[in-house]
Structure 1
Amino acid sequence: MTKTDIRKAVRKYFAQLAAEEYTKKCSRVHNQLYRTEQWRQARMIALTLSTKNEIDTRAVIKKAWSEGKQVAVPKVNPLTHSMTFYKLTSFNQLKEQYAGIQEPDASQAAPVLPEDIQLMIVPGLAFDWGRYRIGFGGGYYDRFLAAHLVPTCALALDFQLFEKLPREEHDKPVDILLTEEKVFR
């Protein structure tokens, strides 16, 4: 299968998933995350606001806030294919931006230095047993992580997991991949 075929297949699974089942599955993955040492030790968590083709991240943000953690979310620059992370203290600081994704309003949030991030939850549509991922096609996280050494993890539902995905030379695996039932390190 090509990356395009895999993206289509995963999007189809998400579209067919009932809301109640989606919530249940996401909760199992969230609980895997909250049990990790990386989560417990991190004071600042960076992640993207989820879309309909991803595990819910609003619940993760709320959990981080309830534990006194700081949260950083990215704002992308489509011209340079780069991201800047901003500290999020309220969902009211967000507005719909590039590609319909909720991003921080830079006039209401402070930028975060990459070295202040202790755990980055990297989004993706598909993942493999080697912790490699297929993202949404923009290369934003690949570029960011190539320039900054940040501990990473990814969250996936079981149907997003493949034995082996097509890889490119610049691809790097996440440090930890968490699914409903498994932890890949």
Structure 2
Amino acid sequence: MRKIDIRPLKQKLRGEIKEWRKSLPAESKGQADRRILDRLRSLREYEGCETVLAYVSLPIEVDTLNLIQAAWQDGKKVAAPRCVPGTRDMEFFLISSFEQLEPQTFGVMEPVPHKCKKLVQFHNSICIVPALAYDRQGYRLGYGAGYYDRFLSGYPGEKIGIVYQENMRQHLWHGKYDVQVDLIITEKRLWSIKRQH
């Protein structure tokens, strides 16, 4: 059976979703972001954790700036990711202020290592995982660089995807190195992923 190259298909879907998100009215996006944040904060996984690993959102992503501020207010530690230059690896650094961030890879705000402390112990943490799309099996369509899959393959805590309902798909292409999340939150509902063993 001839193998098909799924890369162009993924690129096409990435483009479509980015265009949809760019066209989303600011008011609708804000409402969806708030609903997702409220749903996340009511999770027992969130309530019981000590540390939240959270990406710093770009304008077309589900907003995490309010999530990070809410986590600080809730007495949580917050760690943000930094791409290690020259590799496909990612490290997380504990941040207590947005002043500890500056624009880096792909224009994403990342921690400045000498201004904060690297997180090496992931006990009692949850990881908020960005994606352009998720499917009902917990697989994600990311931006294609592979940083999160590499990190998540060794991450022991709960993996929580946040995405707009419009970006949920029945099935997404995935490979053997793709890692499923445990929960997906949209502005409409919560999906708990039943793993196939």
When normalised by structure 1's length, the TM-score is 0.96
In the alignment, does 2:40 pair up with 1:55? no
The Cα offsets for residues 114-146 of structure 1, whole Å up to 9 and x where unpaired, read as 424510001111101111101111111100111
Q: Please point out which of 23, 35, 48 is paired with 2:42.
A: 35
Q: Which moved more, 1:85-94 or 1:112-121?
A: 112-121
Higher RCO (CA 8 Å, separation ≥ 6 residues): 1
Q: Does the 8 Å CA contact 1:13/1:159 hold for their aligned counterparts?
A: no
Cross-structure match for 1:169:
176
Cross-structure match for 1:115:
122
Structure 2: state its 5+ residue gaps.
Answer: 1-5, 193-197
Q: Please point out which of 14, 24, 27 is paired with 1:7.
A: 14
Which segments of structure 1 move beyond 3 Å, counting only runs of 4 or more? none
1:106 and 1:75 map into 2 onto residues whose CA distance is 9
Seq. identity, %: 29
When normalised by structure 2's length, the TM-score is 0.90
Q: Does the 8 Å CA contact 1:45/1:117 hold for their aligned counterparts?
A: no
The Cα offsets for residues 9-30 of structure 1, whole Å up to 9 and x where unpaired, read as 1101111011111101111111
2:172 and 2:124 map into 1 onto residues whose CA distance is 28
Q: Does the 8 Å CA contact 1:114/1:148 hold for their aligned counterparts?
A: no
In the alignment, does 2:92 pair up with 1:73? no
1:83 and 1:117 map into 2 onto residues whose CA distance is 19
CA apart distance, 1:147:
2.3
Cross-structure match for 1:156:
163
Aligned pairs, number: 185
Greater Rg by CA: 2
Q: Aligned-residue CA RMSD in angstroms? A: 1.3
Matches within 5 A, 1:21-32: 21-32=28-39
Cross-structure match for 1:105:
112
Structure 1: state its 5+ residue gaps.
Answer: none
Aligned partner of 1:61: which letter?
A: I
Q: Secondary structure in 2 aligned to 1:107?
A: helix
The Cα offsets for residues 79-125 of structure 1, whole Å up to 9 and x where unpaired, read as 11101100010000010111100001111000001424510001111
